Each structure stands twice: as structure tokens, then as C-alpha cells.
Amino acid sequence: MTVSTAHFGSIAVDPGAIVEFPEGLPGFEEMRQFVPLRHPAATGLVFLQSLDSPALCFLAVPVQVVRPNYRVEMPADDLELLGFAPDCRPVLGRDVNALAFLSLEEGAAPSVNLRSPVVISLRSCRAVQAIRTDERYGYREPLIEEEAVCS
């Protein structure tokens, strides 16, 4: 299937790669189908391209790139939307993938939203933006941890 996009032109999309958001994304509830794209010039980044709106494309990174020990936590209703039992604890990389939206603001360091990542079931290709109830991670986590600099 071929899809027109505002940022990538016409692209071929494998129907098996389409990720469905049964309830859309917060603020974009009507947008239900996306395809994750990678670009060779932007290694490590994922472009979450809407198939419902050619101009809508979110920039994201896999959560493990930012925090290698990231643990997915999801409310029971989100687990059920993805096809898991309400008491399931999906394993990142085996059961689900998780993407953190990237925020790029002029004059500010890049940050990522680790409090509410997009969690994609590897079995069903359904996804939700899973808002964590704990405060382990923030909405604006630094993309790169600051390191001590020797002088």
C-alpha cells in the first residue's frame, strides 16, 4: 500500500507494520493508524507517521535508548486494550516495544516523555500512550544524562 506524507513524500507501507491505537492518542483521538518509520540519516530515531493525516508525524526514540533499565508500567485498562490480562507485566522487547516522544524546543535541551510512552504490543500491533501513575519518570526527561566533566 502506498501512502502520501508531508515529510517523506509517497511511501510504501507494509500493512503488517501498521500500528493501531484503538482510542487514538491524547489530543489526537481521531488518529488511529500509524506506521513507525526509520530514516538512515537519523539513526536511533523513530518517526511515528499517521496514516489518517499526512501532515501528522511524531518524533520518538525507543525508551531503552534513553534509559536502558526502563520498566513498562501500565494501568489495567491499557493492558486490556493491547490484549493482555489486567494483571500482566509485559516485558519490554519480548511482549511490547515502548517509544518516548521527543521534545525539541528552541533554547532548551532535547527531552523525552518517559512518563507516558507509546506502548506497542508486538503480538497485536495495537498501541496506547500509557500514562504511568508513579513518578519514577517525568514528562521532560533529559535526552542525554549530563556527565561530570573533568577540568
Domain boundaries, the chain: 2-141
99 has a pLDDT exceeding 50: yes
Segment 44-69 shows an average pLDDT of: 94
Residue 34 and residue 24 in contact, taking contact as beta carbons nearer than 8 Å = no
Give me the percent of the chain exceeding a pLDDT of 90. 75
145 has a pLDDT exceeding 80: no
CA dihedral 36, 41, 43, 47 (to 10 degrees): -20
Give me the percent of the chain exceeding a pLDDT of 70. 95
pLDDT at 148: 43
Class of domain 2-141: mainly beta
Segment 124-138 shows an average pLDDT of: 93
Return the amino acid letter for 44.
Answer: G
**Residue indicated by cell numbers 520498566:** 71
140 has a pLDDT exceeding 50: yes
pLDDT at 125: 96
Short-list 34, 99, 37, 97, CA closest to 62: 99
Residue 49 and residue 38 in contact, taking contact as beta carbons nearer than 8 Å = no
76 has a pLDDT exceeding 60: yes
Give the strand pairing for 57-62 and 9-12: unpaired
